[in-house]
Structure 1
Amino acid sequence: MADAIPVFDLRDFTASEFIKACEEWGCFRIVNFESILPVSLMQEMKKVVASLLELPLEIKQRNVDAIAGSGYRSPGLINPIHEGLGLYDIASDQAVDAFCTQLEATPHQRETITRYAQAVHELIKDMGRKIGQGLGLNEVPFENWPCQFRINKYPFTPENIGSDGLRTHTDNGFLTVVQDDEQFAGLEVMQKSGNFVPVDPSPGTLLVNFGDIATVWSNGRFYNVKHKVVCKEEGIRISIATFLLGPKEAMVEAPPELVTLENPRLYVPFKFEDFRNTRVFKHLNAGEALDHFLLKP
Protein backbone atom coordinates (compact mmCIF):
# COMPACT_ATOMS: atom_id res chain seq x y z
CA MET A 1 0.00 0.00 0.00
CA ALA A 2 1.62 3.24 -1.19
CA ASP A 3 0.28 5.35 1.67
CA ALA A 4 1.21 2.92 4.47
CA ILE A 5 4.09 4.06 6.66
CA PRO A 6 7.34 2.05 6.28
CA VAL A 7 8.11 -0.93 8.53
CA PHE A 8 11.68 -1.89 9.49
CA ASP A 9 12.97 -5.14 10.93
CA LEU A 10 15.66 -4.04 13.39
CA ARG A 11 17.58 -7.28 12.74
CA ASP A 12 17.62 -6.87 8.96
CA PHE A 13 17.16 -3.57 7.15
CA THR A 14 18.85 -1.41 4.55
CA ALA A 15 20.44 1.73 5.99
CA SER A 16 19.65 3.82 2.91
CA GLU A 17 15.95 2.92 3.05
CA PHE A 18 15.96 3.62 6.78
CA ILE A 19 17.35 7.13 6.32
CA LYS A 20 14.99 7.73 3.39
CA ALA A 21 12.04 7.04 5.71
CA CYS A 22 13.44 9.57 8.20
CA GLU A 23 13.58 12.14 5.42
CA GLU A 24 10.38 11.44 3.52
CA TRP A 25 7.98 10.17 6.16
CA GLY A 26 9.42 11.28 9.48
CA CYS A 27 8.01 8.09 10.97
CA PHE A 28 8.01 4.31 10.63
CA ARG A 29 7.15 1.15 12.52
CA ILE A 30 9.76 -1.23 13.90
CA VAL A 31 9.57 -4.98 14.51
CA ASN A 32 11.94 -7.59 15.96
CA PHE A 33 13.16 -5.47 18.86
CA GLU A 34 12.27 -8.10 21.50
CA SER A 35 15.90 -8.71 22.49
CA ILE A 36 15.82 -5.19 23.98
CA LEU A 37 12.15 -4.63 24.83
CA PRO A 38 10.15 -7.87 25.17
CA VAL A 39 6.55 -7.77 23.97
CA SER A 40 5.53 -9.40 27.25
CA LEU A 41 6.94 -6.37 29.11
CA MET A 42 5.03 -4.03 26.78
CA GLN A 43 1.82 -5.88 27.57
CA GLU A 44 2.43 -5.74 31.31
CA MET A 45 3.29 -2.04 31.11
CA LYS A 46 0.01 -1.39 29.29
CA LYS A 47 -1.87 -2.95 32.24
CA VAL A 48 0.10 -0.86 34.74
CA VAL A 49 -0.49 2.32 32.75
CA ALA A 50 -4.24 1.67 32.51
CA SER A 51 -4.45 1.21 36.29
CA LEU A 52 -2.43 4.39 37.01
CA LEU A 53 -4.74 6.42 34.79
CA GLU A 54 -7.72 5.17 36.84
CA LEU A 55 -6.26 6.53 40.09
CA PRO A 56 -8.20 9.22 41.99
CA LEU A 57 -7.55 12.74 40.69
CA GLU A 58 -5.87 13.86 43.91
CA ILE A 59 -3.21 11.16 43.47
CA LYS A 60 -2.64 11.84 39.76
CA GLN A 61 -2.17 15.54 40.54
CA ARG A 62 0.88 14.64 42.65
CA ASN A 63 2.64 13.92 39.35
CA VAL A 64 4.11 17.43 39.17
CA ASP A 65 6.25 18.92 36.40
CA ALA A 66 10.02 18.47 36.49
CA ILE A 67 10.19 20.63 33.34
CA ALA A 68 7.30 22.42 31.65
CA GLY A 69 4.70 19.90 30.50
CA SER A 70 6.32 16.82 32.06
CA GLY A 71 3.75 16.03 34.75
CA TYR A 72 0.03 15.32 34.98
CA ARG A 73 -2.22 16.88 32.37
CA SER A 74 -5.98 16.97 32.85
CA PRO A 75 -8.46 17.42 30.01
CA GLY A 76 -8.44 21.09 28.97
CA LEU A 77 -9.68 23.56 26.39
CA ILE A 78 -7.08 22.60 23.76
CA ASN A 79 -7.32 18.82 24.22
CA PRO A 80 -10.59 18.21 26.10
CA ILE A 81 -10.62 14.41 25.71
CA HIS A 82 -7.02 13.70 26.63
CA GLU A 83 -5.45 12.98 30.01
CA GLY A 84 -1.83 12.13 30.71
CA LEU A 85 0.89 11.39 33.24
CA GLY A 86 4.59 12.04 32.68
CA LEU A 87 8.07 11.08 33.83
CA TYR A 88 11.06 13.24 32.91
CA ASP A 89 14.48 11.58 32.50
CA ILE A 90 13.73 7.84 32.46
CA ALA A 91 17.46 7.07 32.71
CA SER A 92 17.48 8.47 36.25
CA ASP A 93 16.69 5.85 38.91
CA GLN A 94 15.84 8.70 41.26
CA ALA A 95 13.33 10.21 38.81
CA VAL A 96 11.68 6.84 38.16
CA ASP A 97 11.45 6.20 41.89
CA ALA A 98 9.94 9.66 42.49
CA PHE A 99 7.33 9.08 39.76
CA CYS A 100 6.32 5.77 41.32
CA THR A 101 6.16 7.30 44.79
CA GLN A 102 3.99 10.20 43.59
CA LEU A 103 1.43 7.72 42.26
CA GLU A 104 1.65 5.28 45.17
CA ALA A 105 2.71 2.49 42.81
CA THR A 106 2.62 -1.04 44.16
CA PRO A 107 5.88 -3.04 44.24
CA HIS A 108 4.81 -4.88 41.06
CA GLN A 109 3.90 -1.64 39.28
CA ARG A 110 7.18 -0.07 40.37
CA GLU A 111 9.18 -3.04 39.09
CA THR A 112 7.34 -3.01 35.74
CA ILE A 113 7.81 0.74 35.25
CA THR A 114 11.51 0.47 36.12
CA ARG A 115 12.10 -2.43 33.72
CA TYR A 116 10.17 -0.71 30.94
CA ALA A 117 12.05 2.57 31.41
CA GLN A 118 15.40 0.80 31.22
CA ALA A 119 14.42 -1.26 28.17
CA VAL A 120 12.88 1.55 26.12
CA HIS A 121 15.89 3.74 26.92
CA GLU A 122 18.21 1.06 25.55
CA LEU A 123 16.01 0.79 22.46
CA ILE A 124 16.19 4.54 21.87
CA LYS A 125 20.00 4.49 22.19
CA ASP A 126 20.08 1.64 19.66
CA MET A 127 17.92 3.70 17.29
CA GLY A 128 20.32 6.63 17.71
CA ARG A 129 23.29 4.44 16.78
CA LYS A 130 21.46 3.16 13.68
CA ILE A 131 20.70 6.72 12.60
CA GLY A 132 24.37 7.63 12.96
CA GLN A 133 25.44 4.58 10.98
CA GLY A 134 22.90 5.33 8.26
CA LEU A 135 24.31 8.85 7.89
CA GLY A 136 27.91 7.62 7.93
CA LEU A 137 28.77 9.32 11.23
CA ASN A 138 31.38 7.91 13.56
CA GLU A 139 29.69 9.34 16.65
CA VAL A 140 26.25 10.61 17.60
CA PRO A 141 25.47 12.72 20.67
CA PHE A 142 22.23 11.09 21.76
CA GLU A 143 23.64 8.77 24.42
CA ASN A 144 23.32 11.31 27.22
CA TRP A 145 20.29 13.24 26.02
CA PRO A 146 17.37 12.97 28.47
CA CYS A 147 14.34 10.86 27.65
CA GLN A 148 10.85 11.52 28.93
CA PHE A 149 7.78 9.36 28.72
CA ARG A 150 4.13 10.22 28.81
CA ILE A 151 1.21 7.86 29.27
CA ASN A 152 -1.95 9.01 27.53
CA LYS A 153 -5.63 8.24 27.96
CA TYR A 154 -8.40 9.16 25.53
CA PRO A 155 -11.84 8.30 26.95
CA PHE A 156 -13.79 8.45 23.69
CA THR A 157 -17.58 8.55 23.85
CA PRO A 158 -20.09 8.36 20.96
CA GLU A 159 -20.36 12.17 21.12
CA ASN A 160 -16.60 12.48 20.49
CA ILE A 161 -16.55 10.57 17.19
CA GLY A 162 -14.89 12.72 14.56
CA SER A 163 -13.32 15.03 17.16
CA ASP A 164 -9.59 15.46 17.81
CA GLY A 165 -8.35 13.78 20.97
CA LEU A 166 -4.98 15.48 20.43
CA ARG A 167 -4.69 18.39 18.04
CA THR A 168 -2.24 18.52 15.15
CA HIS A 169 1.30 19.04 16.45
CA THR A 170 4.93 18.07 16.06
CA ASP A 171 6.97 16.68 18.92
CA ASN A 172 9.52 19.09 20.36
CA GLY A 173 12.35 16.58 20.76
CA PHE A 174 14.43 14.41 18.45
CA LEU A 175 12.43 11.22 18.19
CA THR A 176 9.53 9.50 19.90
CA VAL A 177 8.93 5.78 20.39
CA VAL A 178 5.22 5.09 20.73
CA GLN A 179 3.55 1.98 22.05
CA ASP A 180 0.14 2.75 20.65
CA ASP A 181 -3.18 1.15 21.46
CA GLU A 182 -3.54 -2.40 20.14
CA GLN A 183 -7.27 -2.04 19.55
CA PHE A 184 -8.34 1.56 19.05
CA ALA A 185 -7.20 3.47 15.98
CA GLY A 186 -7.01 7.23 15.89
CA LEU A 187 -3.41 8.27 15.23
CA GLU A 188 -2.91 10.06 11.91
CA VAL A 189 0.34 11.44 10.44
CA MET A 190 0.68 14.20 7.86
CA GLN A 191 2.63 13.53 4.70
CA LYS A 192 4.68 16.31 3.13
CA SER A 193 1.83 16.75 0.65
CA GLY A 194 -0.41 17.83 3.55
CA ASN A 195 -2.55 14.70 3.43
CA PHE A 196 -3.21 12.84 6.67
CA VAL A 197 -2.60 9.08 6.67
CA PRO A 198 -4.14 6.85 9.36
CA VAL A 199 -1.75 4.73 11.41
CA ASP A 200 -3.77 1.63 12.22
CA PRO A 201 -3.10 -0.55 15.29
CA SER A 202 -0.38 -3.15 14.84
CA PRO A 203 0.12 -5.25 18.00
CA GLY A 204 3.69 -6.19 18.84
CA THR A 205 5.20 -3.26 16.94
CA LEU A 206 6.36 0.22 17.92
CA LEU A 207 5.98 3.49 16.08
CA VAL A 208 8.94 5.87 15.75
CA ASN A 209 8.42 9.49 14.70
CA PHE A 210 10.73 12.48 14.44
CA GLY A 211 10.34 15.88 16.07
CA ASP A 212 11.61 19.43 15.61
CA ILE A 213 15.08 18.79 17.05
CA ALA A 214 15.64 16.04 14.45
CA THR A 215 15.06 18.58 11.69
CA VAL A 216 17.62 20.95 13.19
CA TRP A 217 20.22 18.28 14.00
CA SER A 218 19.97 16.73 10.52
CA ASN A 219 20.30 20.19 8.94
CA GLY A 220 16.83 19.96 7.44
CA ARG A 221 17.03 16.37 6.19
CA PHE A 222 14.71 14.68 8.71
CA TYR A 223 11.00 15.45 8.53
CA ASN A 224 9.37 16.59 11.78
CA VAL A 225 6.08 14.86 11.08
CA LYS A 226 2.85 16.52 12.15
CA HIS A 227 0.34 14.18 13.73
CA LYS A 228 -2.91 14.08 15.67
CA VAL A 229 -5.26 11.65 17.41
CA VAL A 230 -8.84 11.46 16.13
CA CYS A 231 -11.77 9.73 17.83
CA LYS A 232 -12.89 6.92 15.51
CA GLU A 233 -15.02 4.86 17.90
CA GLU A 234 -16.21 4.65 21.47
CA GLY A 235 -13.72 3.28 24.00
CA ILE A 236 -10.69 4.12 26.11
CA ARG A 237 -7.57 4.53 23.98
CA ILE A 238 -4.23 4.31 25.80
CA SER A 239 -0.72 4.94 24.50
CA ILE A 240 2.78 5.16 25.95
CA ALA A 241 5.17 7.62 24.31
CA THR A 242 8.88 7.91 25.10
CA PHE A 243 10.64 11.03 23.87
CA LEU A 244 14.34 11.50 23.18
CA LEU A 245 14.45 15.25 23.83
CA GLY A 246 17.57 17.38 23.35
CA PRO A 247 20.87 17.94 25.18
CA LYS A 248 20.71 19.31 28.72
CA GLU A 249 23.73 21.60 28.39
CA ALA A 250 25.23 21.35 24.89
CA MET A 251 23.89 23.37 21.98
CA VAL A 252 21.51 21.84 19.46
CA GLU A 253 23.22 22.02 16.08
CA ALA A 254 23.89 19.91 13.02
CA PRO A 255 27.19 17.99 13.08
CA PRO A 256 29.82 19.33 10.64
CA GLU A 257 29.50 16.23 8.42
CA LEU A 258 25.91 17.22 7.55
CA VAL A 259 26.81 20.80 6.60
CA THR A 260 28.13 21.26 3.05
CA LEU A 261 28.36 23.95 0.38
CA GLU A 262 25.32 22.39 -1.27
CA ASN A 263 23.47 22.13 2.06
CA PRO A 264 24.66 25.04 4.25
CA ARG A 265 23.74 25.31 7.91
CA LEU A 266 20.05 26.20 8.27
CA TYR A 267 19.66 26.95 11.99
CA VAL A 268 21.59 28.90 14.58
CA PRO A 269 22.88 26.75 17.46
CA PHE A 270 20.57 27.01 20.47
CA LYS A 271 19.84 25.52 23.87
CA PHE A 272 17.02 22.98 23.92
CA GLU A 273 15.47 24.75 26.91
CA ASP A 274 15.26 28.00 24.90
CA PHE A 275 13.57 26.18 22.05
CA ARG A 276 11.10 24.44 24.35
CA ASN A 277 10.23 27.74 26.01
CA THR A 278 9.63 29.33 22.60
CA ARG A 279 7.17 26.56 21.75
CA VAL A 280 5.40 26.70 25.11
CA PHE A 281 5.11 30.45 25.66
CA LYS A 282 4.41 31.40 22.05
CA HIS A 283 2.01 28.45 21.56
CA LEU A 284 3.91 27.22 18.50
CA ASN A 285 3.23 23.50 18.65
CA ALA A 286 3.22 22.42 15.00
CA GLY A 287 6.78 23.11 13.89
CA GLU A 288 6.45 26.90 13.61
CA ALA A 289 8.94 27.47 16.43
CA LEU A 290 11.76 26.41 14.10
CA ASP A 291 11.29 29.62 12.11
CA HIS A 292 12.57 31.59 15.10
CA PHE A 293 15.93 29.82 14.89
CA LEU A 294 16.57 29.97 11.14
CA LEU A 295 19.86 31.51 10.05
CA LYS A 296 19.21 34.77 8.26
CA PRO A 297 20.37 34.80 4.63
Structure 2
Amino acid sequence: MGEERGTVPVPVPAIDMGGFPGEFQKLREACAWGCFRIVNHEVPLELMAQMKAVVRELLDLPAEVKRKNTDVIAGSGYMAPSPKNPLYEALGLYDMGSRDAVLAFCSHLEASPHQREVIMKYAEAIHKLIMDISEKLGESLGLSKDLFKEWPCQFRINKYNFTPETVGFSGVQIHTDSGFLTILQDDENVGGLEVMDQSGSFVPVEPQHGTFLVNLGDVAAVWSNGRWCNVKHRVQCKQAVVRISIATFLLGPKEEAIEAPEELVDSEHPRLYAPFTYEDYRKLRLSTKLQAGEALALLRADS
Protein backbone atom coordinates (compact mmCIF):
# COMPACT_ATOMS: atom_id res chain seq x y z
CA MET A 1 0.00 0.00 0.00
CA GLY A 2 1.36 3.39 -0.93
CA GLU A 3 1.67 6.40 1.29
CA GLU A 4 -1.58 8.26 1.91
CA ARG A 5 -1.94 11.88 0.88
CA GLY A 6 -4.81 12.65 3.20
CA THR A 7 -5.39 16.31 2.37
CA VAL A 8 -4.79 16.48 -1.38
CA PRO A 9 -7.98 16.18 -3.47
CA VAL A 10 -7.64 13.76 -6.35
CA PRO A 11 -8.14 15.28 -9.81
CA VAL A 12 -10.84 12.87 -10.97
CA PRO A 13 -11.32 13.16 -14.76
CA ALA A 14 -14.62 14.79 -15.72
CA ILE A 15 -16.50 13.27 -18.66
CA ASP A 16 -19.00 15.58 -20.38
CA MET A 17 -21.99 13.46 -21.40
CA GLY A 18 -22.90 16.08 -24.00
CA GLY A 19 -19.42 16.14 -25.51
CA PHE A 20 -19.31 12.82 -27.41
CA PRO A 21 -17.74 11.69 -29.69
CA GLY A 22 -15.06 14.17 -28.62
CA GLU A 23 -14.87 12.66 -25.11
CA PHE A 24 -14.00 9.09 -26.15
CA GLN A 25 -10.22 9.48 -25.79
CA LYS A 26 -10.62 11.06 -22.37
CA LEU A 27 -12.99 8.24 -21.38
CA ARG A 28 -10.48 5.58 -22.45
CA GLU A 29 -7.78 7.25 -20.37
CA ALA A 30 -10.09 7.51 -17.34
CA CYS A 31 -10.97 3.80 -17.56
CA ALA A 32 -7.30 2.89 -17.25
CA TRP A 33 -7.59 4.28 -13.71
CA GLY A 34 -11.18 3.15 -13.18
CA CYS A 35 -12.68 6.35 -11.79
CA PHE A 36 -14.25 9.42 -13.39
CA ARG A 37 -16.95 12.02 -12.80
CA ILE A 38 -19.99 12.55 -15.02
CA VAL A 39 -21.01 16.13 -15.79
CA ASN A 40 -23.63 17.63 -18.10
CA HIS A 41 -25.95 14.64 -17.67
CA GLU A 42 -29.73 14.63 -18.07
CA VAL A 43 -30.78 13.79 -14.49
CA PRO A 44 -32.54 16.92 -13.13
CA LEU A 45 -30.80 18.54 -10.16
CA GLU A 46 -34.18 18.92 -8.45
CA LEU A 47 -34.76 15.17 -8.69
CA MET A 48 -31.30 14.49 -7.24
CA ALA A 49 -32.10 16.77 -4.28
CA GLN A 50 -35.53 15.21 -3.77
CA MET A 51 -34.05 11.72 -3.81
CA LYS A 52 -31.41 12.70 -1.27
CA ALA A 53 -34.18 13.86 1.09
CA VAL A 54 -36.19 10.67 0.56
CA VAL A 55 -33.12 8.51 1.19
CA ARG A 56 -32.50 10.24 4.50
CA GLU A 57 -36.12 9.66 5.50
CA LEU A 58 -35.99 5.96 4.59
CA LEU A 59 -32.76 5.39 6.49
CA ASP A 60 -34.28 7.06 9.55
CA LEU A 61 -37.13 4.50 9.59
CA PRO A 62 -37.43 2.15 12.58
CA ALA A 63 -35.22 -0.93 12.33
CA GLU A 64 -38.24 -3.26 12.15
CA VAL A 65 -39.39 -1.51 8.97
CA LYS A 66 -35.93 -1.45 7.39
CA ARG A 67 -35.57 -5.19 8.00
CA LYS A 68 -38.51 -5.75 5.61
CA ASN A 69 -36.06 -4.82 2.85
CA THR A 70 -34.93 -8.43 2.43
CA ASP A 71 -32.31 -9.87 0.07
CA VAL A 72 -33.13 -10.98 -3.47
CA ILE A 73 -29.51 -11.93 -3.98
CA ALA A 74 -27.08 -12.01 -1.05
CA GLY A 75 -26.34 -8.49 0.16
CA SER A 76 -29.03 -6.76 -1.90
CA GLY A 77 -31.37 -5.89 0.97
CA TYR A 78 -31.00 -4.07 4.30
CA MET A 79 -27.51 -4.09 5.74
CA ALA A 80 -27.43 -3.25 9.44
CA PRO A 81 -24.29 -1.95 11.16
CA SER A 82 -21.90 -4.88 11.69
CA PRO A 83 -18.70 -5.52 13.67
CA LYS A 84 -16.74 -5.11 10.41
CA ASN A 85 -18.49 -1.87 9.38
CA PRO A 86 -20.13 -0.55 12.58
CA LEU A 87 -20.73 2.98 11.24
CA TYR A 88 -22.48 1.89 8.03
CA GLU A 89 -25.98 0.79 7.12
CA ALA A 90 -27.81 0.55 3.81
CA LEU A 91 -31.05 -0.30 2.05
CA GLY A 92 -31.00 -2.00 -1.32
CA LEU A 93 -33.01 -2.86 -4.39
CA TYR A 94 -32.10 -5.59 -6.87
CA ASP A 95 -32.99 -5.01 -10.54
CA MET A 96 -33.93 -1.33 -10.43
CA GLY A 97 -34.70 -1.50 -14.15
CA SER A 98 -37.83 -3.49 -13.24
CA ARG A 99 -40.83 -1.32 -12.36
CA ASP A 100 -42.31 -4.17 -10.31
CA ALA A 101 -39.10 -4.51 -8.27
CA VAL A 102 -39.05 -0.76 -7.55
CA LEU A 103 -42.71 -0.82 -6.47
CA ALA A 104 -42.05 -3.80 -4.19
CA PHE A 105 -39.10 -1.96 -2.62
CA CYS A 106 -41.36 1.03 -1.92
CA SER A 107 -44.14 -1.15 -0.48
CA HIS A 108 -41.83 -3.05 1.88
CA LEU A 109 -40.60 0.26 3.31
CA GLU A 110 -44.12 1.71 3.51
CA ALA A 111 -43.12 4.63 1.31
CA SER A 112 -45.52 7.56 1.09
CA PRO A 113 -47.04 8.53 -2.29
CA HIS A 114 -44.51 11.37 -2.58
CA GLN A 115 -41.57 9.12 -1.68
CA ARG A 116 -42.79 6.49 -4.12
CA GLU A 117 -43.05 9.03 -6.95
CA VAL A 118 -39.53 10.35 -6.34
CA ILE A 119 -38.02 6.85 -6.13
CA MET A 120 -39.74 5.76 -9.35
CA LYS A 121 -38.58 8.84 -11.27
CA TYR A 122 -35.03 8.56 -9.93
CA ALA A 123 -34.78 4.84 -10.69
CA GLU A 124 -35.90 5.45 -14.26
CA ALA A 125 -33.50 8.37 -14.78
CA ILE A 126 -30.49 6.60 -13.26
CA HIS A 127 -31.15 3.39 -15.17
CA LYS A 128 -31.22 5.39 -18.41
CA LEU A 129 -27.96 7.11 -17.43
CA ILE A 130 -26.15 3.90 -16.50
CA MET A 131 -27.18 2.31 -19.80
CA ASP A 132 -25.93 5.40 -21.67
CA ILE A 133 -22.57 5.32 -19.89
CA SER A 134 -22.11 1.60 -20.43
CA GLU A 135 -22.87 1.96 -24.14
CA LYS A 136 -20.26 4.70 -24.42
CA LEU A 137 -17.75 2.48 -22.64
CA GLY A 138 -18.36 -0.22 -25.24
CA GLU A 139 -18.14 2.29 -28.08
CA SER A 140 -14.84 3.58 -26.70
CA LEU A 141 -13.40 0.14 -27.51
CA GLY A 142 -14.99 0.05 -30.96
CA LEU A 143 -17.87 -2.27 -29.98
CA SER A 144 -21.55 -2.02 -30.86
CA LYS A 145 -24.36 -0.71 -28.67
CA ASP A 146 -26.91 -2.65 -26.63
CA LEU A 147 -24.32 -4.96 -25.08
CA PHE A 148 -25.53 -4.37 -21.52
CA LYS A 149 -29.26 -3.68 -21.79
CA GLU A 150 -30.27 -7.00 -20.16
CA TRP A 151 -27.79 -6.73 -17.30
CA PRO A 152 -29.49 -6.07 -13.93
CA CYS A 153 -28.76 -3.02 -11.81
CA GLN A 154 -28.62 -3.00 -8.03
CA PHE A 155 -29.48 0.17 -6.13
CA ARG A 156 -28.10 0.90 -2.66
CA ILE A 157 -28.70 3.88 -0.41
CA ASN A 158 -26.06 4.35 2.26
CA LYS A 159 -25.86 6.02 5.64
CA TYR A 160 -22.67 6.55 7.62
CA ASN A 161 -23.36 7.31 11.29
CA PHE A 162 -20.27 9.37 12.00
CA THR A 163 -19.77 10.75 15.54
CA PRO A 164 -17.00 12.73 17.28
CA GLU A 165 -15.60 9.45 18.62
CA THR A 166 -15.31 7.90 15.13
CA VAL A 167 -13.37 10.67 13.37
CA GLY A 168 -10.33 9.05 11.75
CA PHE A 169 -11.92 5.60 11.52
CA SER A 170 -13.18 3.74 8.45
CA GLY A 171 -16.82 3.98 7.43
CA VAL A 172 -16.36 1.14 4.93
CA GLN A 173 -13.29 -1.04 4.49
CA ILE A 174 -11.07 -1.09 1.39
CA HIS A 175 -12.84 -2.86 -1.47
CA THR A 176 -13.52 -2.97 -5.17
CA ASP A 177 -17.04 -3.23 -6.54
CA SER A 178 -17.81 -6.71 -7.82
CA GLY A 179 -19.90 -5.61 -10.81
CA PHE A 180 -19.25 -3.75 -14.06
CA LEU A 181 -19.67 -0.13 -13.01
CA THR A 182 -21.06 1.97 -10.20
CA ILE A 183 -22.73 5.38 -10.43
CA LEU A 184 -22.54 7.28 -7.15
CA GLN A 185 -24.44 10.37 -6.09
CA ASP A 186 -22.14 11.29 -3.25
CA ASP A 187 -22.96 13.53 -0.31
CA GLU A 188 -22.28 17.05 -1.58
CA ASN A 189 -21.81 18.30 1.99
CA VAL A 190 -19.69 15.52 3.50
CA GLY A 191 -16.50 14.03 2.07
CA GLY A 192 -14.76 10.84 3.08
CA LEU A 193 -14.58 8.80 -0.11
CA GLU A 194 -11.01 7.87 -1.02
CA VAL A 195 -9.78 6.01 -4.10
CA MET A 196 -6.46 4.38 -4.83
CA ASP A 197 -4.56 6.17 -7.56
CA GLN A 198 -2.22 4.51 -10.03
CA SER A 199 0.75 4.89 -7.68
CA GLY A 200 -1.01 2.86 -4.98
CA SER A 201 -1.81 5.85 -2.76
CA PHE A 202 -5.25 6.59 -1.33
CA VAL A 203 -6.40 10.09 -2.15
CA PRO A 204 -9.65 11.86 -1.20
CA VAL A 205 -12.34 12.50 -3.79
CA GLU A 206 -14.02 15.78 -3.02
CA PRO A 207 -17.80 15.83 -3.62
CA GLN A 208 -19.05 17.99 -6.47
CA HIS A 209 -22.66 19.14 -6.47
CA GLY A 210 -24.85 18.01 -9.35
CA THR A 211 -22.47 15.35 -10.67
CA PHE A 212 -22.09 11.58 -10.44
CA LEU A 213 -18.95 9.63 -9.71
CA VAL A 214 -18.32 6.42 -11.70
CA ASN A 215 -16.16 3.55 -10.43
CA LEU A 216 -15.33 0.52 -12.56
CA GLY A 217 -15.55 -2.87 -10.85
CA ASP A 218 -14.14 -6.37 -11.17
CA VAL A 219 -16.43 -7.39 -14.03
CA ALA A 220 -15.20 -4.39 -16.06
CA ALA A 221 -11.58 -5.48 -15.63
CA VAL A 222 -12.47 -8.95 -16.92
CA TRP A 223 -14.80 -7.84 -19.72
CA SER A 224 -12.23 -5.33 -21.06
CA ASN A 225 -9.55 -8.05 -20.96
CA GLY A 226 -7.46 -5.99 -18.56
CA ARG A 227 -7.68 -2.66 -20.38
CA TRP A 228 -9.73 -1.12 -17.56
CA CYS A 229 -8.99 -0.96 -13.84
CA ASN A 230 -11.22 -2.09 -10.97
CA VAL A 231 -10.46 0.79 -8.65
CA LYS A 232 -9.96 0.19 -4.92
CA HIS A 233 -11.78 2.62 -2.63
CA ARG A 234 -12.91 3.18 0.94
CA VAL A 235 -14.85 5.68 3.06
CA GLN A 236 -13.16 7.46 5.97
CA CYS A 237 -14.83 9.41 8.77
CA LYS A 238 -13.59 12.98 8.39
CA GLN A 239 -16.16 14.82 10.52
CA ALA A 240 -18.87 14.04 13.05
CA VAL A 241 -21.91 14.27 10.76
CA VAL A 242 -24.17 11.75 9.05
CA ARG A 243 -23.07 11.04 5.45
CA ILE A 244 -25.63 9.92 2.87
CA SER A 245 -24.85 8.51 -0.58
CA ILE A 246 -26.80 6.80 -3.36
CA ALA A 247 -25.11 4.09 -5.44
CA THR A 248 -26.32 2.17 -8.50
CA PHE A 249 -24.39 -0.89 -9.66
CA LEU A 250 -24.53 -2.35 -13.16
CA LEU A 251 -23.70 -5.91 -12.18
CA GLY A 252 -23.25 -8.50 -14.93
CA PRO A 253 -25.40 -10.79 -17.06
CA LYS A 254 -27.95 -12.78 -15.07
CA GLU A 255 -27.07 -16.19 -16.49
CA GLU A 256 -24.57 -15.88 -19.34
CA ALA A 257 -20.86 -16.21 -18.67
CA ILE A 258 -18.76 -13.10 -18.28
CA GLU A 259 -15.82 -12.99 -20.67
CA ALA A 260 -14.03 -10.50 -22.86
CA PRO A 261 -15.61 -10.11 -26.32
CA GLU A 262 -13.62 -11.73 -29.13
CA GLU A 263 -12.81 -8.27 -30.54
CA LEU A 264 -10.73 -7.55 -27.41
CA VAL A 265 -8.65 -10.75 -27.62
CA ASP A 266 -5.67 -11.05 -29.97
CA SER A 267 -2.00 -12.01 -29.99
CA GLU A 268 -1.04 -8.82 -28.15
CA HIS A 269 -3.96 -9.17 -25.72
CA PRO A 270 -4.41 -12.87 -24.86
CA ARG A 271 -7.48 -13.77 -22.83
CA LEU A 272 -6.69 -13.07 -19.18
CA TYR A 273 -9.64 -14.71 -17.42
CA ALA A 274 -11.61 -17.92 -17.80
CA PRO A 275 -15.38 -17.41 -18.27
CA PHE A 276 -17.52 -17.29 -15.13
CA THR A 277 -21.02 -16.23 -14.12
CA TYR A 278 -21.61 -13.17 -11.99
CA GLU A 279 -23.41 -15.22 -9.33
CA ASP A 280 -20.48 -17.64 -9.04
CA TYR A 281 -18.08 -14.73 -8.75
CA ARG A 282 -20.13 -13.09 -5.99
CA LYS A 283 -20.12 -16.38 -4.08
CA LEU A 284 -16.35 -16.65 -4.58
CA ARG A 285 -15.78 -13.18 -3.14
CA LEU A 286 -17.99 -13.96 -0.15
CA SER A 287 -16.48 -17.39 0.57
CA THR A 288 -12.87 -16.25 0.26
CA LYS A 289 -13.46 -12.86 1.91
CA LEU A 290 -11.35 -11.35 -0.88
CA GLN A 291 -13.22 -8.08 -1.32
CA ALA A 292 -10.63 -5.86 -3.01
CA GLY A 293 -10.31 -7.52 -6.39
CA GLU A 294 -7.93 -10.26 -5.25
CA ALA A 295 -10.49 -12.99 -6.07
CA LEU A 296 -9.93 -12.33 -9.79
CA ALA A 297 -6.49 -13.93 -9.50
CA LEU A 298 -8.28 -17.25 -8.84
CA LEU A 299 -9.97 -16.96 -12.24
CA ARG A 300 -6.94 -16.22 -14.39
CA ALA A 301 -6.96 -18.16 -17.66
CA ASP A 302 -3.39 -19.30 -17.02
CA SER A 303 -3.95 -20.41 -13.42
| TM-score, scaled relative to structure 1 | 0.97
How far off its partner does 1:95 sit?
0.8
Give, in whole Å, the separation in 1 of the partners of 2:273 and 2:131: 25
Matched, 1:243 2:249: yes
Which SS does the other structure have where 2:255 is aligned? coil
How far off its partner does 1:252 sit?
0.2
Give, in whole Å, the separation in 1 of the partners of 2:25 and 2:10: 19
Which SS does the other structure have where 1:142 is aligned? coil
How far off its partner does 1:140 sit?
4.9
Which SS does the other structure have where 1:48 is aligned? helix
Q: Tell me which amino acid in the other structure corresponds to 2:150.
A: N
Matched, 1:62 2:75: no
Which residues of structure 2 form unaligned runs of 5+?
Answer: 1-7
- Relative to structure 1, the CA distance from residue 72 to residue 268 in structure 2 (aligned partners, 3 Å threshold; closer, same or farther) is same
- Runs of 4 or more, structure 1, over 3 Å off, are none
Matched, 1:213 2:219: yes
- The C-alpha deviation readout for 1:84-139, integer Å capped at 9, x for no partner, is 00000001111111110110000111111111111100001100111121111124
Give, in whole Å, the separation in 2 of the partners of 1:7 and 1:15: 12
Matched, 1:78 2:87: no
Matched, 1:170 2:181: no
How far off its partner does 1:14 sit?
2.2
Give, in whole Å, the separation in 2 of the partners of 1:39 and 1:260: 44
Match of 1:199 in 2: 205
Matched, 1:8 2:15: yes
Assess if the C-alpha contact under 8 Å between 2:178 and 2:282 holds in 1: yes
Match of 1:98 in 2: 104
- The C-alpha deviation readout for 1:48-103, integer Å capped at 9, x for no partner, is 00000000000000000000000001110111100100000001111111110110
Which SS does the other structure have where 1:192 is aligned? coil
Give, in whole Å, the separation in 2 of the partners of 1:203 and 1:102: 30
Give, in whole Å, the separation in 2 of the partners of 1:70 and 1:173: 13
Which SS does the other structure have where 1:143 is aligned? coil
Which SS does the other structure have where 1:263 is aligned? coil
Match of 1:33 in 2: 41
Match of 1:146 in 2: 152
Give, in whole Å, the separation in 1 of the partners of 2:113 and 2:128: 23
Give, in whole Å, the separation in 1 of the partners of 2:243 and 2:9: 27
| TM-score, scaled relative to structure 2 | 0.95
Which residues of structure 1 form unaligned runs of 5+?
Answer: none
Give, in whole Å, the separation in 2 of the partners of 1:2 and 1:72: 32
| Coordinate RMSD, CA, aligned | 1.2
How far off its partner does 1:284 sit?
1.1
